[in-house]
Chains A and B, each alone.
Chain A
Amino acid sequence: MSWAAHEFENYFIQKHAGIKISFLGLAIGTLSPDLFTKSLVYNSDDPAMFHRGWPGVGFSHSLIFGVALALLVLWATRSRSWSLGILIGQWAHVFTDVADTAGVMPFFPFSTEPVTISMWRHAASEGRYGDAAAYYSSLGGMWDLFWLVVLVLVARRTLSAEYFRTTILPADPGAWAWLHRRTGLGERGLLTLYRGLCFYGAGRMVSWFIYARFGARTPFQPLWNGPSYLSSYNDLSDAGPLEVVWRTTLGGVLFAGFLWLVWRLVGSRLWLRGIDPPSVERSRTFF
């Protein structure tokens, strides 16, 4: 799992998607795989299996879960920017979590084979604090740092007041206006709320890193498949590389077919009755 990369990725995605997606939708989509399951993970008998496997709640880290959420939101709200935001955010979370040893089942239920590049060890079996210490002793912490650097170098403009005013608000005027009415927050308050996710990611990264070094005092081992002081890998599959490739390819083909069918039967109809933010509709009249 990633502890802060999920927060930083949102701003990078937003920079490229612009007014087509809702940032609030994107943020909820990114959080959705762990939203209601993470607190239960540390209390389960087999945390890795419960979190990412099947049987367990591993389906929350599959692409089909994002499709289902996006369709549900499109049906309920008719908002295309929210639906797209949730889909892209959830998929970004899935692809990011491929990096730890537990991996994800991207093509569940067509393949329950976990896909992983084993960059760092999934350490939920160590408990919440032990998990944090292990993550910030491995390449996981470096992965968070990488995304923070990408955000600063490539997408820092997304944190500016002007970007918030010209892109974030017009992409989702209804939700921000609702927040303004319900909370009484002005533009500064809403901007602070928007920046909050980045603040949270950076703060979480630094706090847990300091905890790993000076609280838990775990050895810093940012090497592939680290940290080596953990005895368990938490790899959920015994299959060899060829078997994983075969099963995942088959699952991917079946998922693509399922996606096409869902689009033809349900998705396209919901999309056609969906509505864009006024700014997107206005821009269409110009081009």
Chain B
Amino acid sequence: MPDSPRREALAWAAAFVAYVALGYWTKGLVLNWIVGPLFPLFVLILIPRALGGRNSR
């Protein structure tokens, strides 16, 4: 997740737009109580961490 508050807010906004678009497209697949609350964790923390780890190797 980005360090500065502005970049962090932008990252959350981008994640939100992505979730809404995915939600509209796939409906129940992501708009459910399991994927929904975990979505920002994956998009903002886990995926960037995994990609960063791969790039650093």
Contacts and interface: CB of A to CB of B under 8 A. Distances in A.
**Size class of the B contact interface (CB-based, 8 Å):** 20 to 34
A207 B20 contact: yes
Main secondary structure of the interface of A (DSSP, over half): helix
Given A193-B41, A203-B39, A210 B33 contact: no
The interface centre, meaning the residue of A35, A196, A210, A211 with most chain B CB atoms within 10 A of its CB, is A196
B36 to A, nearest CB: 3
B1 to A, nearest CB: 6
Interface residues of A, number: 23
B36 A210 contact: no
Interface string A200-225: 10111011101100010000000000
Contact of A203 (B1, B16, B28): B16
A199 B24 contact: no
A208 B20 CA distance: 9
A125 B42 CA distance: 34
Interface in B8-57: 12, 15-16, 19-20, 23-24, 27-28, 31, 33, 36-41, 44-46
A32 to B, nearest CB: 11
